[in-house]
Amino acid sequence: MGIEGWYISIKRVRGKEGRVIFQIDPSMDLALQELTQRIFPLCENYLLISQFVEAKSQFKSGLVNHAFAAALRALLLDYQAMVAQLEHQFRIGRLSVQGLWFYCQPMMGSLHALGIVIEKVSSDNLFGSATLNLLQSQAKAMAGDNAVRSLQANFVYHICHNFWGINKSLK
């Protein structure tokens, strides 16, 4: 969620706006350090997606990017619900780092694929059909990962649905 703890600190990357690096206290057990390092890409992608949603949730970003940000916001709500459930399990003593790794697996691929799309949309300053084309081509490229492919196809559907709804209301 982007909150520092006792053993993990967050450092901003200079020259790359919004990018962060997570650092682990070296006094932490090596096995725990390794497992924790594996979870960091999920955290980095969450922060990247969250920043994109905040930046593109305005109409000046274009209707397609605005609709994409709205669809991403729904995904982030699912992620936050997962984090809340995991935090509850931790507080009652039923969650280990290994358990955390196990429960984070399904979200890791999805957020990684979306992170790639968002980096491309942001770096190339894509709008409109270019964003849709990128999502569609990324969904085709992920043909081997059915969950990620269907998630991205679902984003294309929701973006188009919202886009046409906005266009109908403008007429």
> What is the sign of the dihedral through the CA atoms of 97, 37, 34 and 110?
positive
Mean predicted confidence (pLDDT) in 155-170: 72
Q: What is the pLDDT of residues 102-134, one digit of tens each?
A: 999 988 988 998 999 999 999 899 988 899 889
Beta pairing, strands 8-12 & 20-24: antiparallel
The pLDDT assigned to 16 comes to: 62
Asked if residues 2 and 8 have their Cβ atoms less than 8 Å apart, the reply is no
Q: Provide the sign of the torsion angle of the four alpha carbons 41, 44, 50, 53, taken in this order.
A: negative
Cβ atoms of 56 and 75 closer than 8 Å: no
Q: Which residue has the tokens 């962060």?
A: 20
- pTM exceeds 0.95 for this model: no
Q: Are 39 and 22 in contact (CB under 8 A)?
A: no
Give the pLDDT of residue 18: 64
Q: Which tens digits make up the pLDDT trace of 66-94?
A: 889 988 998 899 999 999 999 999 999 99
Evaluate if residue 7 carries a pLDDT over 60.
yes
pLDDT at 118: 93
Record the tokens describing residue 72, joined without a space: 């991403």
pLDDT (mean) for 153-161: 81
